[in-house]
Amino acid sequence: MCGRYWIDIDEAELRDIAKAAAANALPEEMSLMKSSGEIFPTDRVPIMSGVETFQPMQWGFTLEGKKGPPIINAREESVMEKPMFKNAIIRHRCLVPCSGYYEWKKDGKRKEKHYFHLHGKGTMYLAAIWRMERGANLPRFTIITRDAAGHIADIHDRMPVIIPRELVDTWLTDGTKIAEVLRQAVREIAFENLEAPEPNLFDMV
């Protein structure tokens, strides 16, 4: 799954995206939009909803008339079939711009927090879908996930679908190539264990 991600506002591209989203927001939406730091479910954040089009959206679909946590992820394997997602994947695809995302590896009773990012870092685009919900002021989005690839699976069995930069426009505009773009998602990324102990300098002598 993907339950937290990070926006580094020092990245020029992400800073420009935040400004563009704010420019397309109503004043009350702009004040609530979170454009940097660690992003949590239900946060309002900048989203790429079209080619060079950015707007604030809120993370997580809700179940109308039911209580419970928001639906923050949609599985690639079933996103085309499930009634909750089918219309959105066909008509309302979007991208989540970020610096990276977090996942936790279980080690007995402990959970170790890991940070995943592109090799060389830079802006990462996560495949997502959006919809307008009854009574909502903002569209709501959910991130598409897939089976984790390679060494990532040693930490967690799922990962977000990361769209290669050269396919960003295709994902947003061409409904005939959804499956093709998903198959070409980025698989190899870097990660860091954020809870690894600091090296003992005396042991390194």
Each residue's pLDDT tens digit, 173-197: 999 999 999 999 999 999 999 976 5
pLDDT number for residue 202? 37
Torsion of CA 103, 45, 51, 1, to 10 degrees: 20
Could you tell me the residue ranges of all domains in the chain?
4-193
Distance CA 128, CA 142 (A): 6
CA dihedral 82, 84, 89, 91 (to 10 degrees): 130
Q: Given the structure tokens 């992400």, which residue do they identify?
A: 14
Spatial CA neighbour of 125 closest among 114, 141, 147? 141
pLDDT at 55: 95
**pLDDT above 70 as % of the chain:** 94
Q: What is the mean pLDDT of residues 136-158?
A: 93
**Which token pair is 32?**
């609530």
Architecture of domain 4-193: Alpha-Beta Complex (3.90)
Q: Give the residue-averaged pLDDT of 45-68.
A: 92
For the chain, give the mean pLDDT: 91
